[in-house]
Amino acid sequence: MSTTAMQGSSNEPLDIAWVRRQFPSLQLEVDGNPAAFLDGPAGTQVPRQVMEAIQNYLLQANANTCGAFLTSRRTDEMLAGARAAMADFLNCSPEEISFGPNMTTITFALARAIARELKPGDEIVVTTLDHDANVAPWRALEEKGVVIRQADIREEDCTLDLDDLRRKITAKTKLVAAGYASNAVGTINPVAEITRLAHEAGALMFVDAVHYAPHGAIDAKALDCDFLACSPYKFFGPHMGVLYGKKEQLLRFRPYKVRPAPETLPDRWETGTQIHEGIAGVAAAVDYVAELGRRCDPAVKTRREALLAAYRATGTYERGLATKLIAGLLEIPGLTFYGIREPQRFHERCSTVSVRLAKGTPLDAAKFLGERGIFTWDGNFYALNLTERLGVQEKGGVLRIGLVHYNTAEEVDRLLSSLREFSLD
Ligand SMILES: Cc1ncc(COP(=O)(O)O)c(C=O)c1O
């Protein structure tokens, strides 16, 4: 497996006090209780470095691109720097990085462009585990006669059924769309292996790395996927989306675009004026993770090495929290747990956990927790195929608890005791 989330060891343990100092919003209180942000899968909090970068851009560089004056030149430099940062983050070349408003919009635009080469009867494989942003853009191509096949899960542990996936990939398959990690149940998919299966069939591979990005280092080169999308607001940045594409694929397909806009990389896939202040924040988010990595392993030399060191440290830390969380949840009478639960298999999952309680709906539980300053999500989180498959869609979905590296063992304890209180109430 090519994943590093929740595996490996770093030189220094995570300095959680330093981490929390970087995130001013973690100081929020709800009726005298400190806020516990266990809502990371829907968007993480932002370190002060990101806020400062956005403010600095707006103060000192706010302009459109390619003009013959100071702020425009600063904007061009900022964009080049942000592309280089994301290239380090995904291990690719800067010209293989395109920015956009969010992963969903990027994926719809890419699917539409890829469809220019598809004909009726061509097939695309999606999965039951995926967020709808990696299903609906491909399903939309059914209007052109494209056939969508859906690889199932193994219900007992919410992992992808790879035998079913192999059966669904045929000589007619033109693209396989799979997620790196499930935003509902935390399963990490073997995406390098799935990419190999797609390529053996002559199909393209599209990876939705949105949920994996805050938990593990991504290596687009090692995965060998053709496209990969992620959303910086899930990894401590602002609300934005990023697309990686192999250079030859970005040049092969033709995006829908205005005529004067460049056909060349890296601008080719960026339609209209970009969210420049957001992109400045994306670069700062990558640099925040790198700074964390340098603190964990002062011997690292490059930014990429620093990022890898950070993810080694956060992976170990998050695995510790998830072990405590899952053990505590499994002791709550009548609780239904979805996904991998055995600690020896935690390298196959990240620290995002979904449950249903015997009492009340997931919304009832989320409200009860919210009143105590504990932020969790209820519902389907747009992983609609999955909640339907698990038979919970009509019953309010599940309660999702998401842990990232700024969460603490005390927060896990507070969550567990509140859930026990809710269950007994
Ligand atoms: C796994 C996954 N994929 C895709 C998306 C959609 O991302 P965006 O909000 O950037 O469109 C989300 C958002 O929650 C997600 O969790």
Question: Ligand 1 center to residue 377 CA distance, Å?
Answer: 14
Alpha-carbon span 250 to 96, nearest angstrom: 8
Question: Helix 70-90 crosses helix 276-296 at what angle (to 10 degrees)?
Answer: 50
Task: Decide which of 310 and 424 is more confident.
Answer: 310
* Spatial CB neighbours of 115, under 8 Å, sequence gap ≥ 6: 141, 144, 146
Question: Ligand 1 center to residue 333 CA distance, Å?
Answer: 32
Say if residue 121's pLDDT is above 90. Answer: yes
Question: Ligand 1 center to residue 250 CA distance, Å?
Answer: 22
Residue with the nearest Cα to atom 14 of ligand 1? Answer: 42
pLDDT, tens digit (0-9, with 9 covering 90-100), for 203-215: 999 999 999 999 9
What separation in angstroms does the CA of 352 have from each of 184, 399, 401, 402, 405? 7, 11, 6, 4, 12
Say if residue 6's pLDDT is above 50. Answer: no
Phi and psi for 206 in degrees, rounded to 5? -115, 125
Helix (H, G, I), strand (E, B), or coil: what is residue 157?
coil
**Residue 4 confidence (pLDDT):** 41
pTM of the model: 0.97
Pick the range with the lowest mean pLDDT from 9-23, 38-52, 54-68, 388-402.
9-23
**Residue 12 confidence (pLDDT):** 83
DSSP secondary structure of 329-385: HHTSTT-EEES---GGGGGGB-SEEEEE-SSS-HHHHHHHHHHTTEE-EEE-TT-HH
Mean pLDDT of 382-388: 98
Mean pLDDT of 389-399: 98
Task: Decide which of 13 and 102 is more confident.
Answer: 102
Q: What contacts 24+ positions apart, CB below 8 Å, involve 333-337?
A: 333/358, 333/423, 334/358, 334/359, 334/423, 335/423
* Spatial CB neighbours of 340, under 8 Å, sequence gap ≥ 6: 157, 158, 159, 186, 187, 346, 348, 349
Alpha-carbon span 74 to 222, nearest angstrom: 33
Say if residue 1's pLDDT is above 70. Answer: no
375 strand-pairing partners:
37
Mean pLDDT of 400-412: 98
Q: What percent of the chain has pLDDT over 70?
A: 97
**Residue 2 confidence (pLDDT):** 39
From the CB of 386, is ligand 1 less than 6 Å away?
no
Whose CA is closest to 220, among 250, 254, 243?
243
Whose CA is closest to 37, among 415, 425, 407?
407
Say if residue 346's pLDDT is above 50. Answer: yes
**425: pLDDT confidence band, cut at 50, 70 and 90?**
low
Ligand 1 atom closest to the CA of 106, numbered from 1: 11
Taking a C-beta distance cutoff of 8 angstroms, is the pair 26, 46 a contact?
no
Mean pLDDT of 42-66: 98
The distance of Cα 128 from the centroid of its chain, to the nearest Å, equals: 17
Element of type H or E holding 295: helix 276-296
From the CB of 130, is ligand 1 less than 6 Å away?
no
Say if residue 9's pLDDT is above 90. Answer: no
User: Which of 231, 235, 384, 404 for a ligand 1 pocket mutation test, highest count of atoms within 8 Å of Cβ?
Assistant: 231
pLDDT, tens digit (0-9, with 9 covering 90-100), for 75-119: 999 999 999 999 999 999 999 999 999 999 999 999 999 999 999
Mean pLDDT of 134-145: 98
Say if residue 53's pLDDT is above 70. Answer: yes
**Residue 5 confidence (pLDDT):** 42
Mean pLDDT of 283-311: 98
